[in-house]
């Protein structure tokens, strides 16, 4: 049985203190201008506006007197929305800069470091990646020198348990020394630059931890007392509308209550905020602004001059030597050596490159400049806002139901006959008139009926579509079995006109379809009746 002894005995110099110092350096505004003030704690959530478009507007405020630095926690899944929509309102100052830690891949962050992300998996992996680095070790075996090797070995532990240990070899001024990594108390890297790189890598790992939020840093410039407002739009759960309609015995008026059902999953508590719900269908986009992108560029071959090979001088034959050479040519001789081989294909390619190459191999100007920007236009729809009176507190992870409408409206109870719904009985229906002065968003309506004694009873549910102000809708909430409907249909076709011209006979006919409805009601009170009568497919305007 083999076990691995866990633990990281390496105490990286400035690892804890360095990260704290880096955080202070990042958020403290006093490092460059002593007159700046830290306004992080003053930035408070003041307004929340929830939209039926699936987004929410969050607005923060802070009172400042001079230059200030604000910080806001931002969830990773909201970073794109924040970068797209964050806005700073300051009438007496200037919105300086807005910073957010980069989301570049770890491979890009470690590109300039002498080790990769895997080196931070364990202390042994880090020392293995930094062979040759100078370290200072304290513990049972103290040494100062450069790391030479890290060897894994198995030792006998308690209860005959095999323990994996790492023996580190260090080249010191006195010679080679060894120590067991798991027994060391501290290991310090003596190179300040290397130590700073390790601290930076650890911080990058912390910032890239899955599910962790980022901190948005906003720098504001000004020298007067003022209120700075910071707002942004982010994805949020859809708020829902539901209604309660209570009819009166006189069947003339009804009381309508509208409720907004919402949730707070923003990650922060809403303490004493101004809450507004908005109905409408705004145009909303998502764009991966927090993602790192690189532009692909065409690759152009490097111009390489072709090599030249001058022909070797083999000498010339003078006029006096020509007769003697001709006589020797008649004598037997050995087979001459073959001619030198032609230039290698590389030489030909290089010569062609020197000449510019073939036209087919060269990228054209149109290929190098292909592509263009595409513009998009967004248009917001009409919205209706419901701002709640007073302040509202909603804890993170809690839902809230709050009344947004409480008004008397016009209502009339009728019977509505819909054969596709039921062939014999009509539906008990309320004709609702929107007298609230504002358009109503769609939602479910729960209907109650109050008797003359003031007692309420549940009568049914109905669906309400979007209801503009001043218009009316029919809300069917129950089947009225006290009324029976009989329908009798008659169809008659009459030829009204006949003409003959050029061998073509044209005939015009008139179709008459009549439907007679007979209603039988067991309710002595009586009520108005209506019928959804579809237009015949044969009818023409």
Where does 101-142 show beta strands of DSSP type E?
Answer: 134-138
pLDDT of residue 538: 62
Distance separating alpha carbons of residues 254 and 247, to the nearest angstrom: 4
Q: DSSP for 78-92?
A: GHHHHHHH-EEE-SS
pLDDT of residue 264: 94
pLDDT of residue 37: 45
Residues paired with 427 in a beta bridge: 416, 479
Q: How many residues does the chain have?
A: 541
DSSP H helical segments within 208-344, as ranges? 322-330
Task: Report residue 85's pLDDT band, with 50, 70 and 90 as the boundaries.
Answer: very high
For tokens 């907004």, what's the residue? 260
Going by C-alpha positions, the residue among 108, 109, 122 that lies closest to residue 168 is 122
For 126, the 3-state DSSP assignment is helix
Mean pLDDT of the chain: 77
Residues in CB range of 23: below 8 A, 6 or more apart: none
pLDDT of residue 381: 47
pLDDT of residue 384: 85
DSSP H helical segments within 472-528, as ranges? none
For tokens 């036209």, what's the residue? 359
Residues paired with 500 in a beta bridge: 505
Q: Please give the structure tokens belonging to residue 111.
A: 């590109």
pLDDT of residue 23: 31
- CB distance 170 to 148 below 8 Å: yes
Please state the φ and ψ torsions of residue 160, each to the nearest 5 degrees.
55, 35
- Measured from the Cβ of residue 393, the count of other Cβ atoms closer than 10 Å reads 13
| pLDDT at residue 221 tops 80 | yes
Q: Please give the structure tokens belonging to residue 513.
A: 């379809």
Could you report the per-residue pLDDT of 7-47, keeping only the tens digit for each?
333 333 333 333 333 333 333 333 333 334 444 447 899 99
Distance separating alpha carbons of residues 10 and 33, to the nearest angstrom: 37
Residues in CB range of 219: below 8 A, 6 or more apart: 29, 67, 68, 69, 96, 97, 98, 99
pLDDT of residue 375: 23
pLDDT of residue 5: 37
* Cα 483 from chain centroid (whole Å): 55
Query: How far apart, in Å, are the Cα atoms of 1 and each of 7, 159, 162?
Result: 20, 11, 6
Q: Please give the structure tokens belonging to residue 201.
A: 């890598």
pLDDT of residue 356: 43
For tokens 């007679």, what's the residue? 516
Distance separating alpha carbons of residues 414 and 265, to the nearest angstrom: 43
pLDDT of residue 336: 53
Task: Report residue 259's pLDDT band, with 50, 70 and 90 as the boundaries.
Answer: very high
For tokens 């020198």, what's the residue? 145
Distance separating alpha carbons of residues 260 and 434, to the nearest angstrom: 18
For 514, the 3-state DSSP assignment is strand
Alpha-carbon Rg for the chain, nearest whole angstrom, is: 43
Distance separating alpha carbons of residues 394 and 271, to the nearest angstrom: 7
CATH architecture of 2-11+106-207: Roll (2.30)
In this prediction the pTM is 0.63
230: exposed, middle or buried (Cβ count in 10 Å: 0-12, 13-18, 19+): buried
Task: Report residue 48's pLDDT band, with 50, 70 and 90 as the boundaries.
Answer: very high
Could you report the per-residue pLDDT of 127-139, keeping only the tens digit for each?
999 999 999 999 8
Q: Can you give the residue ranges of every domain in the chain?
A: 2-11+106-207, 239-264+398-483+523-541, 484-522
Q: DSSP for 39-108?
A: -GGG-EEEEEEEETTSEEEEEEEEEESS-EEEEEEE-GGGHHHHHHH-EEE-SSSEEEEEE------HHH
Distance separating alpha carbons of residues 222 and 224, to the nearest angstrom: 6
- CB distance 415 to 425 below 8 Å: no
Lowest pLDDT segment from 316-320, 473-477, 478-482, 508-512: 316-320
Going by C-alpha positions, the residue among 495, 487, 321, 471 that lies closest to residue 410 is 471
Where does 326-398 show beta strands of DSSP type E?
Answer: 384-387, 392-394
404: exposed, middle or buried (Cβ count in 10 Å: 0-12, 13-18, 19+): buried
């Amino acid at each position: 049985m083999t076990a691995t002894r866990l633990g990281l005995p390496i105490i990286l110099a400035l690892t804890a203190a360095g990260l704290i110092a880096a955080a202070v350096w990042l958020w403290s505004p006093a490092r460059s201008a002593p007159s700046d003030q830290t306004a992080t704690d003053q930035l408070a959530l003041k307004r929340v506006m929830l939209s039926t478009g699936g987004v929410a507007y969050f607005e923060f405020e802070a009172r400042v007197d001079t230059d200030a630095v604000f910080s806001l926690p931002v969830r990773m899944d909201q970073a794109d929305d924040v970068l797209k929509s964050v806005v700073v309102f300051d009438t007496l100052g200037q919105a300086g800069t807005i910073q957010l830690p980069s989301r570049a891949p770890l491979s890009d962050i470690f590109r300039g470091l002498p080790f990769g992300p895997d080196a931070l998996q364990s202390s042994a992996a880090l020392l293995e990646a930094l062979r040759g680095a100078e370290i200072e070790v304290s513990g049972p075996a103290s040494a100062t020198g450069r790391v030479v090797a890290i060897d894994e070995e198995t030792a006998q532990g308690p209860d005959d348990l095999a323990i994996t240990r790492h023996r580190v070899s260090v080249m010191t001024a006195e010679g080679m020394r060894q120590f067991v990594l798991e027994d060391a108390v501290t290991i310090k890297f003596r190179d300040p630059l290397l130590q700073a790189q390790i601290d930076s890598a650890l911080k990058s790992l912390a910032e890239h931890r899955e599910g962790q939020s980022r901190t948005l840093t906003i720098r504001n410039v000004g020298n007067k007392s003022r209120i700075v407002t910071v707002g942004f739009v982010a994805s949020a759960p859809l708020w829902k509308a539901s209604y309660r309609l209570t009819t009166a015995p006189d069947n003339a008026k009804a009381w309508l209550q509208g409720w907004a059902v919402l949730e707070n999953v923003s990650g922060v508590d809403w303490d004493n905020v101004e809450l507004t719900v908005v109905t409408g269908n705004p145009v909303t986009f998502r764009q991966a602004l927090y993602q790192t992108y690189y532009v692909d560029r065409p690759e152009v071959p490097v111009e390489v001059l072709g090599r030249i090979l001058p022909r070797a001088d083999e000498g010339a034959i003078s006029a006096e030597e020509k007769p003697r050479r001709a006589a020797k040519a008649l004598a037997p001789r050995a087979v001459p050596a073959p001619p030198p081989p032609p230039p290698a294909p590389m030489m030909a390619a290089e010569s062609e490159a020197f000449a510019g190459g073939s036209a087919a191999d060269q990228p054209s100007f149109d290929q190098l400049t292909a592509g263009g920007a595409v513009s998009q236009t967004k248009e917001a729809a009409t919205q209706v806002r419901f701002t709640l009176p007073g302040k509202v507190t909603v804890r993170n992870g809690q839902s809230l139901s709050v009344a947004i409408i409480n008004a008397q409206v016009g209502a009339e109870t009728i019977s509505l006959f819909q054969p596709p719904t039921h062939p014999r009985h009509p539906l008990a229906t309320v004709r609702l008139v929107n007298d609230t002065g504002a358009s109503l968003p769609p939602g479910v309506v729960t209907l109650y009926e109050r008797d003359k004694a003031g007692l309420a009873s549940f009568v049914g549910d109905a669906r309400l579509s979007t209801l503009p102000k001043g218009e009316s809708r029919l809300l069917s909430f129950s089947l009225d079995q006290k009324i029976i409907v009989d329908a009798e249909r008659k169809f008659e076709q009459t030829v009204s006109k006949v003409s003959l011209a050029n061998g073509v006979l044209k005939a015009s006919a008139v179709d008459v379809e009549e439907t007679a409805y007979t209603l039988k009601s067991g309710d002595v009170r009586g009520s108005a009746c209506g019928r959804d009568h579809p237009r015949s497919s044969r009818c023409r305007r």
